Structure 1
Amino acid sequence: MSDSVLSLAGVHLTLQGNAGPVGILRGISLEVNRGETLALTGPSGSGKSSLLMLMGGLERATQGSVQALGQDLGAMNEDQLARFRRANMGVVFQSFHLIPNMTALENVALPLELGGEKDAFPRARAELEAVGLGARTDHYPAQLSGGEQQRVALARAIAPRPALLLADEPTGNLDGANGQAIMDLLFSLRDRHGATLVMVTHAPELAARCDRVVRLTDGQLATERAA
């Protein structure tokens, strides 16, 4: 059985811009193994976030193939992709994407409820306690600091026990202290649940904690090295 969790082969992504087609990714081939931590780095506009979105089936490759956990994401329709993500992936965005009229507990429980888990709320409460927010379960996003909101987003992503955790600039909107705390949480959650972790980051100290660092330039893999 292969240890590969993600396999990208000859991936191109072209989007339509005002002046015509724009090549975002050009010929990306990459393997990510089970249990690995991988940092995607590079200058702004190099295609890092687009590559992460392809890995999560949130964007479709124009050419080439993207396989996750042995499944061809390009062969799935939107409903199939949504079900696959819900069962296998946790995604953490820089801007949190919490539902404002739901409490922290309700936000974390939501994907568990959608997945038909009968113990959605006890599990959600346990994940909030694991990220240090046991006393904030009944607070709404607007009542939480940026660091606390990112912790809720992390708890929501990890609650379904995903095999693959994707994080797009998880510390980008946070100050130094909160950023460090979120870094520590990411790796502790990875260790606790055994998930494979792929993250986009501009933070060298975060990239240095990963098993491998891949740098993108102009939509292509520029360098790849062990951290």
Structure 2
Amino acid sequence: MSDAIISLSGASLTLDGNAGRVEILHDISLDVAQGETVGLVGPSGSGKSSLLMLLGGLEQATGGTVSVLGHDLTSMDEDQLARFRRDHMGVVFQSFHLIPTMTALENVATPLELAGVVDAFDRARAELEAVGLGARMDHYPSQMSGGEQQRVALARAAAPRPAILLADEPTGNLDGTTGEAIINLLFGLRDRHGSTLVMVTHAPDLAARCDRVIQLRDGRLDATEATS
């Protein structure tokens, strides 16, 4: 795919477990185009989250290549990968990973400050307004509902205006109504920033909103299907 900004070729992942070496992913070849929204689906243990971790450089492939925005992630060390994520990616997890001693505003602004963004707090305020938390900026995570905490996590992921958004079951800890609101916000952030979105989900209705659905089974690509 000529306009691919994510490209995997023969990528595999093998990790050391208590019972020895465990093969997690096998010979994954996959291209994702700029601006595309891709849903990763499959049964529990199929390798969906592990594949997302490869795309984000949170795990390094033990075979094959993983290229993102023209950079080979398999050749980078941990510090280089962290800087690359900071500059080009936003990541949203099922668990919110907020810093409990920081307010919502500080949780969103601090990564921007570390990246040297001059208007870090102004940008953080704008992103929190965009997810409907204008009145909750000075609240701490313990003072917020699960849905509000996930909104903070979305704002934090979107604030750097990343080329790529990665989401791992972003509604997994939320009730149906709150989860739907979070997904609408996530797709809205994608549209506002023109990001490519790759998302792990178990929800068929959510997968159907993606441009393409990729099925994994036993650590292998099982099928891929355009949804529109």
**Structure 2 length-normalised TM:** 0.98
What is the CA–CA distance in structure 1 between the aligned matches of 2:68 and 2:97, rounded to whole Å?
23
Q: Deviations over 1:125-155 (max 9, x none)?
A: 0000000000000000010000000000000
What is the CA–CA distance in structure 1 between the aligned matches of 2:3 and 2:143, rounded to whole Å?
42
> Which 4+ stretches in 1 moved above 4 angstroms?
none
User: How big is the shift at 1:71?
Assistant: 0.2
User: How big is the shift at 1:2?
Assistant: 4.0
Paired letter, 1:189: L
Tell me the residue number matched to 2:171. 171
Tell me the residue number matched to 2:87. 87
User: How big is the shift at 1:19?
Assistant: 1.2
Q: Deviations over 1:14-49 (max 9, x none)?
A: 111111111100010000000000000000000000
Tell me the residue number matched to 1:136. 136
Q: Does 1:220 align with 2:220?
A: yes
Paired letter, 2:190: R
Q: How does 1:77-156 map to 2 (within 5 A)?
A: 77-156=77-156
Paired letter, 1:132: G
Q: Does 1:33 align with 2:30?
A: no
Q: Deviations over 1:145-198 (max 9, x none)?
A: 000000000000000000000000001110011000011001111001000000
What is the CA–CA distance in structure 1 between the aligned matches of 2:203 and 2:16, rounded to whole Å?
30
What is the CA–CA distance in structure 2 between the aligned matches of 1:114 and 1:68, rounded to whole Å?
22
How many residues align? The count is 227
RMSD: 0.9
Task: Point out where structure 1 has 5 or more consecutive residues left out of the alignment.
Answer: none
User: How big is the shift at 1:110?
Assistant: 1.3
What is the CA–CA distance in structure 2 between the aligned matches of 1:125 and 1:37, rounded to whole Å?
26
Moved more, 42-51 or 1-10: 1-10
Task: Point out where structure 2 has 5 or more consecutive residues left out of the alignment.
Answer: none
Tell me the residue number matched to 2:203. 203
Paired letter, 1:220: R
What is the CA–CA distance in structure 2 between the aligned matches of 1:219 and 1:57, rounded to whole Å?
18
Q: Secondary structure at 1:44's aligned position in 2?
A: coil
Q: Deviations over 1:91-112 (max 9, x none)?
A: 0010010000000000000111
Question: Sequence identity, in percent?
Answer: 75
